[in-house]
Amino acid sequence: MRSSKETKVKAVTESIVVDNDRQLGTVEGKVRAVVRMIEGVNYIYNDWTKANIDLDKVPTPCVVFIQPSSGNFDVHNGKARDMPDCAIAFLDRTVHDDDAVSEDCVVERMKRLALRFIDAVNKSGYFEPIHGNVKYQVPIDTTDSINSGIIIEPVLKETTGQALCMTNPRR
């Protein structure tokens, strides 16, 4: 039995950093905003397992931002800039058992979409510019859906970040 002087401690379960109309507070929100700048493209944010299910429902071409499982913080001058280890897929439907030439056309089209995405990221101001070598891979048996394209793993380093001195989140 608790004494009258004991207090209950409430757990903080909601994020302090949220996306809203005035501020994009998360890397995912910023990536979503960048994808919205590209006409005719849909967007999925999920882990690979759930994105695999979503790919059957969402029209392609599609940009799939895979939920980062790790990353780094760049802490400097009272701010922390998030740098998650990102995997971003650019996928479009393909015909099952199609020939290599048709498959290559889809892959080349998704390479061009990835370059449009990189250009939009660089123009957005949300992240430091992506430059230099950007490695890509063609996903083989990554999804159950019949899609093809490429996956890139860019370093997305926020330009602004979050202040380290925040008000008490438990209020």
| 6-31 mean pLDDT | 58
**Of 79-83, 142-146, 166-170, minimum mean pLDDT range:** 166-170
Looking at the domain assignment, is residue 96 inside a domain?
A: yes
pLDDT at 5 over 60: no
State the pLDDT confidence band at 94, using cuts at 50, 70 and 90: confident
73 close to 83: Cβ distance less than 8 angstroms? yes
CATH code, 111:
3.30.70
The per-type count for the chain, helices as H runs and strands as E runs, is: 3, 8
Tell me, yes or no, whether 170 lies in a domain: no
What global pTM score does this model have?
0.79
In a domain, 12, yes or no: no
Q: Which domain holds residue 35?
A: 27-161
169, part of any domain: no
Domain count, the chain: 1
What Cα–Cα distance (Å) separates residue 159 from each residue in 1, 111, 113, 131, 155?
51, 25, 23, 15, 12
Q: What are the pLDDT digits (tens) for 112-153?
A: 999 999 999 999 999 999 999 999 999 876 555 678 899 999
**Range of lowest pLDDT (14-28, 48-62, 106-120, 130-144):** 14-28
